[in-house]
Amino acid sequence: MENIEGRRVPDVTFRTREGDDWKDVTTADLFSGKKAVVFSLPGAFTPTCSTAHVPRYDELADAFAKHGVDAIYCVSVNDAFVMNAWHDDQHVKHVGFIPDGNGEFTEGMGALVDKKELGFGPRSWRYAMVVNDGVVEKMFIEPEKPGDPYEVSDADTVFAYVSGGAGDKPHDVTLFTRRFCGHCARAKNMLREKNVEFHEVVATPGMLRAVSGKTSTPQVFVDGKHIGGADELEAQASTLFG
């Protein structure tokens, strides 16, 4: 895929759906007068796209906005029905899903690749970019390797560029919990008091042992680091979250 920094994005019209009606959306509608972050991926409902690429952009949306980003778009060579269903399944709040059903935008970006060995047909190479008023400012193109590399188009890499390395993105916090767990409730209340968003995973004993080596709940992870239970979280909360 060619790096096209300094050029305008392709001028195309996307066929989207709002409710039961078709709506044509142009690249001018999406990009004129805006600073946008775009990430493109091989397909809706696919593993890396659903578990990592889309969720992290949605998590960092407010942080992107603080650094002047007006919109975040996910582009895929899928039709509007599929993209709308995927959007609903992902429960995203801040990422616009753009159906490039005919692959016209992706082809214009030079990103159209043949995935027929997977039964996908023509799809997009994975990449991200920052677009200013329709002009590509910066591109993050995944390396040409077999499979589906996911190394440079992730939200954290793009945020580091947009923010100039300011390091003010929100923490990635995950709690492994069980139902009717009083210490789990205490940990969640501590995080809410600090205005810290978190992911809760209701875990089985086997899952707890696999991820933390423990069987008690909660087990708390902050930015990929195992913190411990509710007592450890309370001891470190001020240092971690201010």
**Amino acid identity at 96:** G
C-beta separation of 63 from 98 below 8 A: no
Respond yes or no: is residue 49 known to be catalytic: yes
Phi, psi (degrees; rounded to nearest 5) at 178:
-130, 160
- Is the bond into 122 cis (omega within 30 degrees of 0)? no
Residues whose CB falls within 8 Å of the CB of residue 58, separated by 6 or more in sequence, listed in order: 72, 90, 92, 93, 94, 95
What is the secondary structure of 51-104 as a DSSP string?
IIIHHHHHHTHHHHHHTT--EEEEEESS-HHHHHHHHHHHT-SSEEEEE-TT-H
Q: How far apart are CA 25 and CA 15, in angstroms?
A: 7
Strand-pair partners of 41: 76
Out of 49, 74, 181, 184, the active site residue is: 49
Give the catalytic positions in this structure. Answer: 49
